[in-house]
Structure 1
């Protein structure tokens, strides 16, 4: 009987501690999200000599992504392989629990692509960008992506979480931005030049979103 009482007391204590911890976390992240200072749809339709046309997402994909606003375009230039640019902005509390939504390292394999190679580069002295090479049924593509939360720019959940200390204690957070760029290419080396050129231009615009 005494053992049962002790066990019950320990379980109750554990539940109380967990509840207190959950309440503390909820309090710590009881934040509001600023609305974007810049409309993502104002991203230049011409970047570094590349012109573009808009490509609509189908309604189901847009609903699944859940971003408040986004832009989806294909940039093209004579003699060059086209480059697709997708940039989205989340300005709601969903970013508190997920600061790296729909990472390419998960979404592409889920769509049947195999990750072949990857490389991280630093653009504009501070922007980390991950290049991923995928293959599927004889086709190869290379993507470039990063996330942004205010002044924090990162490429995955782990690096994003490390940088979150800059926002601890603040009751207002900036909106989150995700940029994904894609092109057909035989390898990362083949795609890197055009992807990083477009990425630098996109970053010059999106880094103003706070």
Structure 2
């Protein structure tokens, strides 16, 4: 390439947007509309109040990081485990419960198979639901689990509402998957309709985690 030539996309004829670019633009517009909904609670608190510090981690996949920063709320936003077995998830829950954060939240990911009752029932051949090692046998300690629901936490006399959902668009054979409403084109419908799961999120929510 000649030294005085500037590579694209800075010069040249305008090109037709790719499907990915169109999707990104539509999703950005959708996110803006959601953020503009009325009646959202202010998160700044009273003047001079100590900020609420939320530490968010995800995709630990059986690992237990030893250098987590301190905070008021620790959120694990999905994929505690690698293969979703009882032993893997229990080890991760025990590790989470041992952390010094006053409030701890766990949300499942698509790898956390045992936590998806429908997935377990549909795949009895997998080593997931065994006597003494079923979802109901897990020991959560002080970890609060959110499965498309919210919880109100009190931090220094301030209320913080957190919503968590494990659901993701289908990709392979994993847990907590729904059929992608945008398939096969991958482009959101022109009317801006969204997955109905969003309708269950309380408007006055401070922190949301979900892929619906």
* TM-score bucket (shorter structure): under 0.3
Q: Which has the higher contact order (CA 8 A, sep 6+)?
A: 1
TM-score under structure 1 normalisation?
0.26
TM-score under structure 2 normalisation?
0.26
